[in-house]
Structure 1
Amino acid sequence: VEMMENVSKYRYANVPNLDAQVVEIPYADGRLSMVMMLPNREGLHSLQTLFRDLSYSPLASTLASLRETELLLQIPKFSIESKLNLRPTLEALGIKDIFGFDANLSGILAGKSAQIGSVLHDAKIEVNEQGTVAAAVTGISVIPLMGSTMDTFRADRPFLFAIVDQSTGSMIFAGRVVQPTWAAPSPLG
């Protein structure tokens, strides 16, 4: 996996109750951002613990703890796609009538008889220099010299990420990267 790196100001914190580093990377439109959560310890167990701890710690309080910080950000390029058939889930929730011959879809299809055969959900996210982090970059790669006290967010082990709506604090998309591996970095921007 090719890594990208940049030094810039990001909202960042090492969050003790999650035992993880959290960084928020804004999108160009200013409405959305990517939040990345990196466990302080390596391994899948740490990722599972972080996922569990997030269920007890509201995302809004985690985001409120972030402070603008000059940060060396090193993240992998990645692309994730998920395809789900939601019909079994909807049926388990009691939504069954729309799939049968007696489905009443007259509000959608005026005067026509129809039923829904399937409900498919397809989600994809791609993170690269042109996409997710483009709003937060300067186009110059600056690497701190040895002895620098600059904070570093280096996602070279399993981490969680979420796309968040800034105005509502709602998670729009979430996922995990389980096997990032280090390769020569390229500058963001």
Structure 2
Amino acid sequence: MAFMLSLPMALVVFSYGSGASLGFDLSQNHVHFSRKNLVLLRQMRRLSPSFCLKDRKDFGFPQEMVEGSQLQKTQAISVLHEMLQQTFLLFHTERSSAAWNSTLLDKLCSGLHQQLEDLDPCLVQVMGEQASSLGMAVKRYFERIHLFLKEKKYSDCVWEIVRVEIMKPLSSLNSLQGRLRIMDADMGSP
């Protein structure tokens, strides 16, 4: 499970891969993995969330920013990539390996990685754009989650709170991906 995502790899995929012709179009495969990842997160449940209520915390997910009607396509791609990247990094750690069923965790990380690879050609096209404040808000949200895990010593209950919390951005990703596909259709993309 040694996935390394880098700009050179993205450039190679964009230059030589079959995805180069996709532009901003998100494949059905991408959407499939998005839904599958939500199902995997639900299956990873080990404790009842009600058992962990004492550890519950509001991480301040920027829902209104992600679902805003004024979201530009380049911003949406950037936010989508940042959310996938941060979710992947969160669950692709030694600490998370100890907390979850390894088979389900591997499948989740593989699905997230596949979605990131599908987005690489799109991301390369928007690399010239400024880093959006939306992307920074998403990054700060995940920083709060990492800090929370560290402060609470990565307990099983804290991981369960985080698992439930991460379902918010992954659900928002489904909505955002649907909006991107609508934007593509409106622009006459194949």
Higher strand share: 1
TM-score bracket for this pair, using the shorter chain length: under 0.3
Normalized per residue, the structure richer in helix is 2
**Structure with the greater alpha carbon radius of gyration:** 1
